[in-house]
Amino acid sequence: MNPNKENLWGIVLAGGEGTRLRNYVTQIYGYPRPKQYCTFVGSRSMVQHTVDRLAFLIPYDKMMMIANTSHSEFIKEEFGEYPEVNIVEQPCMRETSAGLLLPLSKIHHNNPNSTIVMFPSDHFILEEEKFMGYVDQAVNFVENNPSKIVLLGVDATRFETGYGWIEKGESYSNDFSDVKKFWEKPGTITTKILIEKKCLINTFVLIGKSKTIIDCMKECIPSLIKSFDSIGVHIGSEYEHVMTKRFFRYLPSFNFSKSVLEKITNQLVVLNVKGVNWNDWGEEDRLIEDLELLKYLLPNKEVKYRVDKKNPVIQRDLRTGKINSSYNHLAEANRFATSSQLITFHQAFK
């Protein structure tokens, strides 16, 4: 799809423990499996969906996935069919900045001119090919503007304080805009204002040159870069693994959004993604709402989740395994669904 593939690499962030979904996942699997290794729709886990999504643009052997050493059994289970994907294990969690810096440094060591496409591993994207078309546009933009970092933003469809938000500044062509201000998980009052101002939700899908991202981290979190030197000088050598295992645990923890992105808005550009159903499945309420909707939009896909007894609409369809087209689902949704579910049902039947 993109002629600049030679320098294009993908990074998948899969180091989380999924604590916010732990109780929900335990109901399904019987044990607290990290959410990125869970299958909620179809036959692939969330992280498998993520690497397959990246494969629209990037070969598997040019992807690096950062994962926890403690998840090794899940990694073997999930990636037996993906031997080309490069798994980078972090000995422990040290927040998103250190988790990104490790694979980023490995890629930059091998290719100083590399362009990075970074994806979290817990997102749901219904129109994947269309979304990756926007990523392709962002890659082209970065090739022409190497000092810029592009974030993909989506229009707000719900009231949500758990996202990062982006206020657009001066517009370029083709839905690109400067970033006027960046908020990471604002409070209730601020979120209302951001929605009124038509700010975008940050998907945390990021595209930039490896050098530019590293330089921004040097500027914003120099203590992490300095601490990482004990590992970085051994990247690409026979001592890399043992030095990572020895020193990674001592790295300071910095949230990448708050510690870096909020401080470099002058280098950020946002691309407004339109016509794509996107969500971050890090929260139980978001996941359940989307899974309920998917039972209607994708009736032939297996949707694996536990339902509450207060949702007879969904319970009936899960029992039968299909949707009765003669039944007035919208009417029944109006009778039984909660207010948040009503919004989901009405959007599905517009």
With cut-offs at 50, 70 and 90, classify the pLDDT of residue 344. Answer: very low
Cβ atoms of 295 and 279 within 8 Å: the answer is no
pTM: 0.82
> DSSP string of 171-209?
E-STTEEEEEEEEES--HHHHHHHHHTTPEEEEEEEEEE
Crossing angle for the helix pair 339-348 and 329-336, nearest 10 degrees? 170
Q: Where are the domains of the chain?
A: 5-275, 285-348
Q: What is the pLDDT of residue 18?
A: 75
Say which range, 137-151, 164-178, 196-210, 256-270, has the weakest mean pLDDT: 164-178
φ and ψ of 180, to 5 deg: -80, -45
Burial 251-278 (b: 16+ CB within 10 A, else e): beebebbbbbbbebbebbbbbbbeebbb
The CATH T-level fold of domain 5-275 is Spore Coat Polysaccharide Biosynthesis Protein SpsA; Chain A (3.90.550)
Whose CA is closest to 150, among 168, 130, 124, 123?
168
Taking only the tens place, the pLDDT of each residue in 185-194 is 888 888 888 9
First to last CA, the chain: 33
Cβ atoms of 63 and 51 within 8 Å: the answer is yes
Q: Residue 326 pLDDT more than 60? A: no
Length of the chain measured in residues: 350
Pairing of strands 86-90, 63-68: parallel
Q: What is the pLDDT of residue 56?
A: 96
Q: What is the pLDDT of residue 303?
A: 57
With cut-offs at 50, 70 and 90, classify the pLDDT of residue 324. Answer: very low
The predicted model gives 310-330 an average pLDDT of 34
With cut-offs at 50, 70 and 90, classify the pLDDT of residue 174. Answer: confident
Scanning 10-94, the segments in alpha helix (DSSP H) are 22-29, 46-54, 72-78
Q: What is the pLDDT of residue 317?
A: 35
d(CA 214, CA 217): 5
Taking only the tens place, the pLDDT of each residue in 195-225 is 888 999 999 999 999 999 999 999 999 999 9
Strand partners of residue 184: 164
Cβ atoms of 139 and 116 within 8 Å: the answer is no
